[in-house]
Amino acid sequence: MNRIKQKTAKNHANVMLLTKQEKYKEAKALLSKMKDNNFKFYYGAVISLHEGNQHAYNAYKEQIKDNVYLSWLDAEEYVLEGNTNEAIEIVDKQIKHLRGLKLFSAVHYRASMTQDV
């Protein structure tokens, strides 16, 4: 984290790390300081889903305009329901078409799902 100089990138990385570590309160505190965008809405939805807050989850999900993030939320729902294979299928279909940071994220997300299986 100390090597990341850009404040926005550092905050994004911190939110991702805190979410992965299930430190949702800390992640939400960082999200509240960010400007509205798909990243903020996606991670707000993920945290709400894991906390069981369906109302907040739906509110965040409605604000997401990026189909990749929306399908990742669908995959996350499958994972929480115990249907990891369906979630992996969603991510596999996307990996063929993604580039850059989204491709990197999808590959790591898929890897984390296969470790849990």
Name which of 108, 92, 46, 103 is nearest 73 in CA terms. Answer: 46
pTM for this entry: 0.87
CB 88 within 8 A of CB 72: no
pLDDT digits (tens, 9 = 90+) for 65-91: 999 999 999 999 999 999 999 999 999
Amino acid at 62: E
**CA-to-CA distance for 59 and 29, rounded, in angstroms?**
18
Rounded Cα distance between 14 and 20, Å, is: 10
